[in-house]
Structure 1
Amino acid sequence: MNNLPQTLAQWLTHLERLHPSEIELGLDRVRQVAQRLNLIHFDAKLVLVGGTNGKGTTCAMLESILLQAGYKVGVYCSPHLIRYTERVRINRQELTEQAHCQSFLDIEKGRGDIALTYFEFGTLSALNLLKQANLDVVLLEVGLGGRLDATNIVEPDVSVVTTVDIDHVDWLGDNREDVGFEKAGIYRKGKPAICGDLTPPQSLIKHVSDIGANLVLAKQDYTFELASDSWQWQNSEQKFAALPLINMPIQNAATALACLHALQLNAPEDAIVKGLADAQLAGRMQVWQTSPKVILDVAHNPQSAQYLAQQLVQYRAQGIKCLAVVGMLKDKDIAATMAHFCDTFSHWYLADLQGPRGAKAEELKQHLPAQANVNEYGSVVEAYQQALTDSESKSVVIVFGSFYTVADIIALDNKG
């Protein structure tokens, strides 16, 4: 234990060097360490949230509602945008770097000679911090897939799959049935198994039946309906008729309410209304500035791109010019993602993303129509600054394509 890291930055460098692979799916190693440190079972109600898109917003809305109802709530989410400390929230507050350092030391002592990936080590540390906080409810966001993700070592009271779409093809498969099976791996026998996807894969439904979990399906066991200035949610026992419109997908809000009902916790309707209205999450339809309007969104796959495109229709209808600043990872489905924006943007500012997974601007351009107005840049910051220069006061600049893309803009403005 000599020469251990002292600062958070040093610890994160240490984590990156512990294991030869960035990702190694499987639970044996991480479960062994968790058992040594008593991190499998929690006194708090525990919710495991997986899905292709919508995990972060579903957790954020649940967190906000539960806090309004007076509960102590902890959240573990990933990836972070700017600070590693974003990954663990206690009552919506980040913990200090020193708290993370101490928790990393606990895991380092407990792991012995077991090699852990960066994500596995971070997940164990998050569980350690959440367990120490004496919480009422813990919300864990799955990292990748579900069945073999490090978060799946715990025993949840409720498991949620928000949506199922194709992403992380190398790890999860290239069709919704394969992906659905991996996502369904977080469900447990005899426990609520919520699925917010509107057309759930048969593989997910079959797995729930095979293990004897209690399936709760959107459109079947609960419904939601959008009105002009509100929306409503109901199941066989409850109905909320005038819920506030929010800057997050209503489908995910409905999933959050289904989870809340399954937890069987007391949350008055006013706490639900206030919680939904107060929910927030960086990088999800986030208005970053107003003149010109800049919107940051981490949409990076076809399903999330489709939702983003739908939200931008209002600007086209008003004749407002929309400019796109885009950087993506090359292992994403770039063609299908970009296809949702064929008629959305008057100009594209395409950026290279750095690192081995980053796509070049010229690669992105190949997936746009020949007649599109396109400029290519060596960095997200260069692309963004040129888009601002070219924009008018009533223009809307949309920054999307990756967590890394959005993070670059937040970091730029934080420096300024």
Structure 2
Amino acid sequence: MTYQETINYLYQQLPVFHRIGKKAFKANLDNTLTICNHLGNPQEKFKSIHIAGTNGKGSTSHFLAAILQSAGYKTGLYTSPHLKSFTERIRINGQPIPEEEVISYVADNQVFLEDLKPSFFEMSVGMAFEYFAKQQVDIAVIEVGLGGRLDSTNVINPELSVITNISFDHTDILGDTLPQIAGEKAGIIKKNTPVVISEFQEETKDVFIRKAQEEKAKIYFAEDDFEIKSYKNKGTFLELEISNRKTDSIKSFVSQLTGSYQLKNILGVLKSVEILNEQGFNISEEAVYQGIEKVVSITGLKGRWQVLSEKPLMICDTAHNLSGITEILSSITKVKYKQLWMILGFVSDKDIDGILALLPKEANYVFCQANVPRALEAKLLQEKGESHALKGEVIEEVNKAIAFVKAKCSEDDLIYVGGSTFVVADIDEL
């Protein structure tokens, strides 16, 4: 099979969460353990960092991977979902897994996979672990797909666990209270393995403390040791000053990932680096600065407050739940513009009414839908928008929506494109 034939085969054979949702989620680790055993347990052959959270886990994963790579470590990175190509999910030193490796993995294990019938995600976790082991990475940064406790990635024994923001998402699977959701995320906390909590939240702190005590794991809340003193967006960069409470010092950083929501992520990253160095890693201050400043260039990350054009200013972001959109709106308030245009599409299993209630009434809206089965119909989204006094056009395909807005707006306007990872993935200019 060619690469495209291989990907088509996997989509046809295996349930894919981003296409069909909850039905693709396997509520146990049995298949993943079976796959790993079949492959010779590759997850035991490299060091790792495990990262969970509702929002921020992707950015945090890329920050840490960029820093480790800048420090000279051969660094694996596993994330999901992908935006343009499946190969984005599995990287070493910023380079996606070669298509030939994907083809050979499926060919070598086709009979086994057809017999086991794992999910698409379970299959891809096995592929990533085998590739990292075969390429002898020094360390791999592993992002949880969904939840933590029952996520397929939760078969590793990492050097460090990191948990970012906890907010409402996938409540039909993870629970409908913050403590319940935190309990699922806390499932990545392992025996005698330190865990960093990037964002302190009163509602969830006891869940993490209790789980850490059970596992005899040292727990660190990043905000106990680090504090943002000042920050400002400057063009396509974020400039910030951070104080270290323990050393009573203030250091300046420049981040290639912008948006105010990155502030919480960066505190967790700095605390994680501190712990890794205590464990024997050799990560210099220069590597930290470089990894944060050049994170997008080093890792190839897309879709995080990404500037697609300057005049008019057009930004896309993969934020897709209530908490993420709230942070996006906060970032938008810090941008100067004449008129705001929002091109939005959502998947149908989100708290769409909750999100629409937050959106500015004075913006111009274009409602679209991503090219995935879970996408909410654009016409239905328009109707929901109207019930929240949001007026706008329906243009289903996102690139046609972008062309429509560009033809009508002025160069001093701001265009925001988002609402779903899959809307962003469909953007031609990405």
Question: 140, 143, 151: which is aligned to 1:141?
Answer: 143
**Aligned mates of 1:354, 1:310 — CA distance in 2:** 28
Q: Which residue of 1 aligns with 2:41?
A: 39
Q: Which residue of 2 aligns with 1:3?
A: none
Query: Aligned runs of 1:264-343 on 2, under 5 Å?
Result: 264=277, 265-280=281-296, 281-315=301-335, 318-342=336-360
Aligned residues: 403
CA separation of 1:239 and 1:66: change in aligned 2, threshold 3 A: farther
1:103–1:129 Cα contact (<8 Å) kept? no
Q: SS at 1:216's partner residue?
A: strand
Q: TM-score, normalised by structure 1?
A: 0.91
Query: Aligned runs of 1:8-407 on 2, under 5 Å?
Result: 8-19=3-14, 21-39=23-41, 41-108=43-110, 111=113, 113-199=115-201, 201=204, 202-220=206-224, 222-228=225-231, 229-234=239-244, 236=246, 241-248=251-258, 249-264=262-277, 265-280=281-296, 281-315=301-335, 318-342=336-360, 346-365=363-382, 366-367=384-385, 371-407=389-425
Task: Give the Å deviation of 1:238.
Answer: 8.9
**Aligned mates of 1:253, 1:44 — CA distance in 2:** 25
**Aligned mates of 1:25, 1:287 — CA distance in 2:** 38
Task: Give the Å deviation of 1:307.
Answer: 1.2
Q: TM-score, normalised by structure 2?
A: 0.88
2:42–2:130 Cα contact (<8 Å) kept? no
CA RMSD of aligned residues (A): 2.1
**Aligned mates of 2:165, 2:215 — CA distance in 1:** 20
Task: Give the Å deviation of 1:190.
Answer: 0.6
**Aligned mates of 1:45, 1:368 — CA distance in 2:** 51
Q: SS at 1:288's partner residue?
A: strand
**Aligned mates of 2:81, 2:151 — CA distance in 1:** 14
Q: SS at 1:393's partner residue?
A: coil
Task: Give the Å deviation of 1:76.
Answer: 0.6
Task: Letter of the 2:319 partner, please give it.
Answer: A
Task: Give the Å deviation of 1:12.
Answer: 2.3
Unaligned 5+ segments in structure 1 are 1-5
**Aligned mates of 2:126, 2:105 — CA distance in 1:** 9
1:118-176 per-residue CA deviation (whole Å, 9 max, x = no partner) reads 11001100111111111111001111111111101111111111111110111111111
**Aligned mates of 2:66, 2:241 — CA distance in 1:** 18
1:230-272 per-residue CA deviation (whole Å, 9 max, x = no partner) reads 3215364795622225434021111112222222221111211
1:107–1:125 Cα contact (<8 Å) kept? no
**Aligned mates of 2:198, 2:358 — CA distance in 1:** 22
Q: SS at 1:303's partner residue?
A: helix
Asked if 1:7 corresponds to 2:2, the answer is yes
CA separation of 1:337 and 1:205: change in aligned 2, threshold 3 A: farther
CA separation of 1:233 and 1:145: change in aligned 2, threshold 3 A: farther
**Aligned mates of 1:84, 1:384 — CA distance in 2:** 25
CA separation of 1:238 and 1:161: change in aligned 2, threshold 3 A: farther
2:369–2:423 Cα contact (<8 Å) kept? no
Unaligned 5+ segments in structure 2 are 16-22, 232-238
2:356–2:388 Cα contact (<8 Å) kept? no
Task: Give the Å deviation of 1:335.
Answer: 1.9
2:223–2:267 Cα contact (<8 Å) kept? no
